[in-house]
Amino acid sequence: MSPGWRLYLFKEQREFSELLTKVRLSYGVTGLAIAGAIVFLSCLLHLYIHRPVREIINSLRSGNLPDYKGTEELEYLSTTIKETLESLRKETRLLDNIYHVAITRRGEEFFDEVVFTINRLFGLNSLIAKLSPDGEYADAVSLFINGELKKGIRIPLKGTPCEDVIKKKHMCVMERGSHREFPEAMLLTSTKAESFIGIAIFNRKGETVGIMNAFGGAREFTEVDIKAFQTIGQIVGIEFERIQEEQEKDRIREQLFQAQKMEAIGILAGGIAHDFNNMLQAILGYASLLKMNTPEDSPSYNALDVIEKTSLRAAELVKQLLGFARKGKYVVELLNLNDLVMDVYKIISRTFDRTIEIKLDLDEKGLLIEGDRSQLTSVILNICINARDAMPEGGTLTIKTFKRMVQPGEIIHPDARPGIYAALSIIDTGIGMDEETMRHIF
């Protein structure tokens, strides 16, 4: 169209009004439809979403577990929340039981209560055991099996699931077939156990000190069960270590008590020895004086000689008492340990009963040590005499000298540091001694 041109459309007013009426009607119908749809969707949301969610929330607020049945998705949500809460409640109940045991029991009672608790919570037999030094056995501290509590049973670990647990330091969980998979496992086969769960017990240094396991009928172990079992294992490990520390403290207290007692005895012995020594000197002096003034062919001469020699032996005894009391001095010199043994052998080979065979197994090159010859000889001789008394019907006494290597971390004596030591072993085949005697032999 050329610039400057305009187009005019002429229509009757009646037709235009009809068009406007139709447009307005369409808008009204559409609005009503939209409003109806909104109301309908709101009803659906309330019926299928808001009301179920409100039902679930109200159950939780009242402390109950939700149990919604209806829409698949919300029913799944309700079931998931219910299972999670049940799991948490179960875990809390388990931990409460464990905590109660941990704060109310100690030592042997604690371990007994733990195996009872495992049986009560899991319905399984249970074992807590200490690992032997060689790692081949476990000594039962508390074993709850077939409704009975047992103790002191030594359990071989070879061919059992615990063998792998200790070597690899991980948990072993079996829900079925445990006694068939491990036919050498005494506890599993005797109870026909299907399920098994076991862990190693560690100390703070990460060293394996024991094992704990539970076994019985087929069952599924949930994550809560496994966590609870691990928690119990940690508490058992803490109790093991606490007992060990208490035993170490008792040992140190006993050593201190013995040291104080020996010091008191030493002071007493020193005082007696000094007084006795003064008396001996007078006896020895007058005996020697009389002996000098008595003819050798006189009957009194032999008696005086006996008095003099006896007094000298008594003086030697006083010297040992003073050395024991640390008021005298030992003669510390370089000695060959084999020579000391031979000195004793010459005595015992002539005086011991012939029913006792004496064997010597001495280091070929000999072992040099520092010490007092008289004291060490006395120690070796006294031990041999004790061995003889332990073999009234005869037997074998073996005396051995050898080199002994003490490895780092090995404890054979509180003062023994790593290195090579001269060692003396005296072994007899006698009746031995009880624990009470052993505590007092030194």
Summarize pLDDT for 261-312 with one digit per residue, the tens.
Answer: 777 777 777 777 778 888 888 888 888 888 888 888 887 888 888 888 778 8
Lowest mean pLDDT among 27-36, 242-251, 329-338, 371-380: 27-36
Count the neighbouring beta carbons within 10 Å of the beta carbon of residue 52.
21
Spatial distance between the Cα atoms of 182 and 189, rounded to a whole number of angstroms: 8
Spatial distance between the Cα atoms of 161 and 148, rounded to a whole number of angstroms: 23
- pLDDT tier, 172 (very low <50, low <70, confident <90, very high otherwise): confident
CA angle 413, 417, 420 (to 5 degrees): 100
| Mean pLDDT of the 335-352 span | 88
Spatial distance between the Cα atoms of 361 and 327, rounded to a whole number of angstroms: 37
Rounded to two decimals, the pTM is: 0.51
Spatial distance between the Cα atoms of 147 and 149, rounded to a whole number of angstroms: 7
- Quote the pLDDT of residue 355: 92
Percent of all residues in the chain with a pLDDT value above 90, rounded to a whole number: 12
> How high does pLDDT run on average in the chain?
80
Q: Which two tokens mark 81? A: 């929340």
- Quote the pLDDT of residue 202: 86
The label of the residue with tokens 């005499």 reads: 385
- pLDDT tier, 362 (very low <50, low <70, confident <90, very high otherwise): very high
- Quote the pLDDT of residue 398: 95
| Mean pLDDT of the 382-404 span | 91
- Quote the pLDDT of residue 361: 93
| pLDDT of 104 above 70 | no
- pLDDT tier, 95 (very low <50, low <70, confident <90, very high otherwise): low
| Mean pLDDT of the 201-221 span | 87
